[in-house]
Amino acid sequence: MEAVVLAGGLGTRLREKVNNIPKVLAPAAGRPFLFYVLDYLYANGVTKAVLAVSYLGEQIQKTVGGVYKGMIIDYSFEKTPLGTGGAVREALKQCGEDYVFVLNGDTVFDADLREMYKKREKGKAVLAVKYLENTSRYGTVVLSDEKIVSFKEKREKGKGYINGGVYLVDKNISGAFPGKENFSLENDFFQKNTDILKNFVSDGYFIDMGIPEDYETAEKTIKNAVSPKMGKAVFLDRDGTINENTGHLFKKEDFLFLETVPDAIREFRKRGYYVVVITNQAGVAKGLYTEKDIEILNGYIQTELLKTGAYIDLFLHCPHHPEGIVEEYRKNCLCRKPGTGMIQKALEYFKDNGVILDLKNSVLAGDMESDLETGKNAGIGFCAGVGNKKIENSSYADLYIDKLYDIFNYIK
């Protein structure tokens, strides 16, 4: 899933509190507010975000960089003021998928994007809305079944639904945008085209940094803004599964992706899988190379993958061996496959990042019996043997395939 984040706000109302920094970088509980928005996107399975920036945009680029957690971050620079609508039109050009989320970078609304994505529809925009007993600080929307029939300005008091600033749009609706360059997505497009709008009701945490009272509240509540979301992962063995197994490999010069692997990793991400490498590296215990060498190689693999739009969320390795010569690493451990220690570590990592991994809906692929046994021991729903005829009839495997990409003939 992809998202456009509107991060061009001037923060006029926050000026007293934040000077000379873009509104989305205003600190909340010690971190730039935008990081909470990005954390939210990552927990929801978004793999690429385009930040639409203008005022001091370079500062945002310097702070966030080109990758945040496992998300690829692109930037759309607004040279002249375009309004939210014009900024979205430009940023959508950098998106590759048919449906794209659009969010305000100064708002966190903890709507479940995976659920919201199910409401996508050709030619339509889905707006996440929230019910409030007192809507006085916000404009409201009037719902009728699945639709949004009208928008209302801020008013004194009363209950109702507010627009949470989280949208899912068919990318092609930009063709119906107003002809002018500078326009508001909400006022000049959504409000005048309510026939294309659907609602998605969520009672998730909501905070709008542009509203001073909300900004005050953020300090206390933002840390728990994102509730855990259910996700799935693919666990990939390394040597013999993603690269040619040359035996105790640790130099980038010896690293060669097997056919279809970068494409497969990109496709896994597109289908909503987090990608985790789990690899036994007894060469560390045997004194052939160090954990630092593994780290350097991982950096190389990541750089090569990024060139193709793919990315690995998490690299895990087991450096131990019961007969190792390096004392520190000589032991019977729980992480060496077929032990499930690395899967447990992955569960913890994702939990810390707001994701509860559903192992039954997850996938494992490996070229050795011990990989497949690991998968079964951990309760992973689908285990595929790949690229090694010796494991073709493994009782631990649900399937045998020659090339990793072939897996997509069998999984969703």
Residues that bind Mg ion (CB under 5 A): 237, 239-240, 367
Cβ atoms of 363 and 379 within 8 Å: the answer is no
Helices in 291-408 by DSSP H: which ranges?
291-306, 341-352, 369-378
244/406 with CB nearer Mg ion = 244
User: Which one of 237, 313, 371, 398 is the catalytic residue?
Assistant: 237
Residue 266 tokens read as 């990109």
Provide φ and ψ at 38, rounded to 5°: -70, -40
Tell me how far apart the 2 most distant CA atoms of the chain are, in Å: 74
Beta bridge partners of 384: 365, 399
Give the C-alpha separation, 157 to 138, whole Å: 10
Q: Which residue is closest to Mg ion by CB?
A: 240
113/242 with CB nearer Mg ion = 242
Contacts of 252 (CB under 8 A, 6+ apart): 296, 297, 300
Cβ atoms of 124 and 198 within 8 Å: the answer is yes
The angle, 0 to 180 degrees and rounded to 10, between the axes of the packed helices 33-43 and 57-64 is 50
Residue 347 tokens read as 């569960």
Beta bridge partners of 399: 384
Q: Catalytic site residue 293?
A: no
26/407 with CB nearer Mg ion = 407
Nearest CA among 79, 51, 53, 87 for reference residue 183: 87
Residue 6 vs residues 79, 198, 255, 323, 350: alpha-carbon distances, Å: 14, 21, 39, 55, 26
Q: How far is the CB of 304 from Mg ion (least distance, A)?
A: 19
User: Which one of 39, 214, 239, 371 is the catalytic residue?
Assistant: 239
Q: Catalytic site residue 239?
A: yes
Active site members: 237, 239
